[in-house]
Amino acid sequence: MSRRSCEGTVALVTGASQGGTGTAIALRLAAEGAKVAITARTVAGLEATKDRIEAIGGECLVLPCDLADPDGGRKELVERTVRAFGPIDTLVNNAAVNGYKPFETVSPSQLETSLQVNLWAPWELMCAVIGPMRERGRGAIVNLTTFAAELPPGPPFPTNKPGKAGFVYGSAKAALNRLTVAAASECEGQGISVNGLTPQAAIATPALVAGGWIDEAMYEPLDTMAEAALALCTGDPDVLTGRIAYSLQLLVELRRPVRDLHGEELVAGWQPDDLPAVIARQEANLAERGWPDAYTFGRVHSPRPESPEDLR
């Protein structure tokens, strides 16, 4: 039997209590042999994730914590994980607070909560793990981010409806993206990768499926997100770092087979050869909503002068 890609490693995953992306990533890492510490506010949800991990023979540590509160336990997460499992090899900052409101109606407390969960807590956890990672010369950090952090094209803007521009969520995640690339540059050549991971479209989490929020033209399964996260966690840190990677595009680029959350079966319809058509369908859907060429991330700007004479 071949060695599992995370055998003998320790991972800390935030936001792993709702059966969604955090749970999927934690389960996938455990299936590859990692000991996984998980954190969120909901103890029952964390215990349910732990049960799933232990059912496949993995080891899991439950660490209840309110990441929105600077004094809610997040400062001790790394230390508690190290005491139980040893030094952390992989940090996945998945926990998030979203929500869309017109910018002038956002309260200071709502903005504070978003920044605490989406930016401050990831930064604090990254600071706590980076020293030991540098000492050992290895490590991986993956920060989950969002399409809402991208600058929309315009005018005219596709997000001009009240509350649709994503100020609170998007701005916090845009700052997280900048932190991600800054940390990657400062860790270059040290055996440590730091990447962002964005879902190509809505993730088919149990909550979204149950609520009927999944658009058949704009979704991806949990399996693709977990596989993309695993690829970033286990990739060559000298090559695969500093990315704000989009899940499906990354899997196509790496020609990465997509397996189920147990790492056993290939997921039908979501393999690298299947994904270009899925991406094209999603991009066409966004174009119909006023966002053309959504995954090229271009925007109108002042042209760069070709020569000093152009300025005269």
Q: Which residues are catalytic?
A: 169
For residue 38, the surrounding DSSP H or E stretch is strand 35-40
Query: Residue 177 carries which side chain, given as an amino acid letter?
Result: N
Task: Identify the three-state secondary structure at position 17.
Answer: coil
Q: Rounded distance, CA 175 to CA 119, Å? A: 7
Task: Identify the three-state secondary structure at position 292.
Answer: coil
- Asked if 19 and 91 count as a contact pair (C-beta separation under 8 A), the reply is no
Could you give the C-alpha distances from 308 to 63, 99, 115, 288, 311, in angstroms and in order?
A: 59, 46, 43, 41, 6
Burial (0-12, 13-18, 19+ Cβ within 10 Å), 48: middle
* Angle, helices 121-136/77-85, rounded to nearest 10 degrees: 40
Of 184, 177, 196, the C-alpha closest to 237 is 184
Across 204-220, b (16+ Cβ under 10 Å) vs e yields bbeeeeeeeebeeebbb
